Amino acid sequence: MRPVDLNRVERLLILKVSSMGDIVHASPVAAALKRAFPHLQIGWIAEDRHGGVLVGSPRIDRLHIIPHRVLRERPFGREARQTVLRIARELRAERYQVALDLQGLLKSALWGVLGGVPIRYGAHRMRELTPLLLRRIPIPDRADRHVVQQYLDAARWLGASGEFPDLYAAPEDAQSPEPPVEFPLFVSEEAQQQAACKLAQLGIEGAPFISMNPSAGREWKRWRIENFAALSDRIEAEWGVPVVFVGGPGDKPLEEQLGRLKQRPLRSLIGRTSLQEAMAVVQRSAVHVCGDTGTAHIAAAFRTPVVSLYGPTSPDRTGPYGQRARALTKRAQCRACPPDRCLRKECLQWITVDEVLTAVQQAMDAHR
């Protein structure tokens, strides 16, 4: 199968609806295509809980937002039907000629069909009924290759050749084997100002600080909250560097636990920022500390040193791009689970506070 000639295409739609980290990982595809084909009008469709990470991106011309809660809670209700029809009309009005599905699920592929896109490609682990709706791009799915580069293989196949250098580099992680990549994320001036104001309310104005996100999408991806409390106390007591916790409104229970567990005053913006403001806080941080969650990839995209904590999932494949040396994992030491899957989901908790503290210290030294 030969790819469509994008020199003859005016409008392309990227289908990657979730999750936040996956959207960040896929965003270099939009940058690569825009650089190779400057005339191309690029649209992207994503769920509202994650799509905000792409707001204002200089490489995306139109962002289509799916209200996920409406479709999830009553998928066959009247409001859901009206929402689907509205988004379908919105997509059709753009007259996209090519759709590129980087998710490989029915919930993404259907939007290409509903949007009336005549040429639809699938480029990532096509599952469910997607082979019936998409043309498979003939690129290998390799477990030993970072997913960012696998997404970019689709852009290369479509004619965007090269290593896509310039705006991303990771001098703080010189051992990274990954080539430079452009992550086209953007934080508005208003969000920057709001983030600065909220940090000032916590007593942080200009001085270096460390941000931490104690949350993750799944329970087994969360390092114990008492470890985050102990780590932040030691950083503040031993180094005199303030620690600010970030997270969404659903993470308020974690904030309450931190308040009870910490020996020193809690500085928290959990549930107090918009997504853009949280991105600004991570961008301003000297170091970001988190588990296997979206802010790890936001930090990497902004070249903020990030110490990430991984359990069963592979940081070689889905860790913060360009910062593998700071992704801590004990999965290789597990003898209770088979190599290809995790049963106990306990290896994340083998990572100690001392080990994370050492990694943060090294990241701070690189930042200085």
Question: Read out DSSP for 87-129?
Answer: HHHHHHHHT-SEEEESS-SHHHHHHHHHTT-SEEEE-S---TT
Q: Which candidate, 223, 201, 213, places its Cα nearest to that of 285?
A: 213
Instruction: For the beta carbon of residue 366, count every other beta carbon within 10 angstroms.
Output: 15
Q: Quick: pLDDT tens for 290-325.
A: 999 999 999 999 999 999 999 988 899 999 999 999
Cross-strand pairs, 12:
42, 98
pLDDT at 6: 97
228 membership: H or E segment, kind and range: helix 225-234
One-letter amino acid at 112 equals G
Question: Read out DSSP for 343-368?
Answer: SS--GGGGS-HHHHHHHHHHHHHHH-
Cα 39 from Cα 280, distance rounded (Å): 30
Q: Is 168 helix (H, G, I), strand (E, B) or coil?
A: coil
Q: Is 28 helix (H, G, I), strand (E, B) or coil?
A: helix
Cα 171 from Cα 353, distance rounded (Å): 26
Q: What is the dihedral of CA 63, 64, 67, 70, to 10 degrees?
A: 180
Return the CATH number of 189-367, one of 3.90.1010.10, 3.40.50.2000, 3.30.365.10, 3.40.50.720: 3.40.50.2000
The ranges assigned to domains in the chain are: 6-173, 189-367
Residue 19: asked if its preceding bond is cis (omega within 30°), the reply is yes
List the chain residues with pLDDT less than 70: 124, 162-178, 335-344, 367-368
Task: Give the architecture (CATH level 2) of 6-173.
Answer: 3-Layer(aba) Sandwich (3.40)
Cross-strand pairs, 122:
101, 136
Q: 6-173 and 189-367: same fold?
A: yes
Q: Is 293 helix (H, G, I), strand (E, B) or coil?
A: coil
Q: Strands (DSSP E) along 111-268, which ranges?
A: 119-122, 135-136, 210-213, 243-245
- The answer to whether the beta carbons of residues 323 and 247 sit under 8 Å apart is no
pLDDT at 172: 45
- The answer to whether the beta carbons of residues 297 and 24 sit under 8 Å apart is yes
pTM: 0.92
pLDDT at 335: 60
In the chain, the N- to C-terminal Cα span, in Å, equals: 50
From residue 160, give the alpha-carbon distance in Å to each of 163, 180, 206, 312: 9, 15, 41, 34
316: CB partners within 8 A, 6+ apart: 144, 146, 324
- Token code pair at residue 101: 């599905």
Instruction: For the beta carbon of residue 333, count every other beta carbon within 10 angstroms.
Output: 8
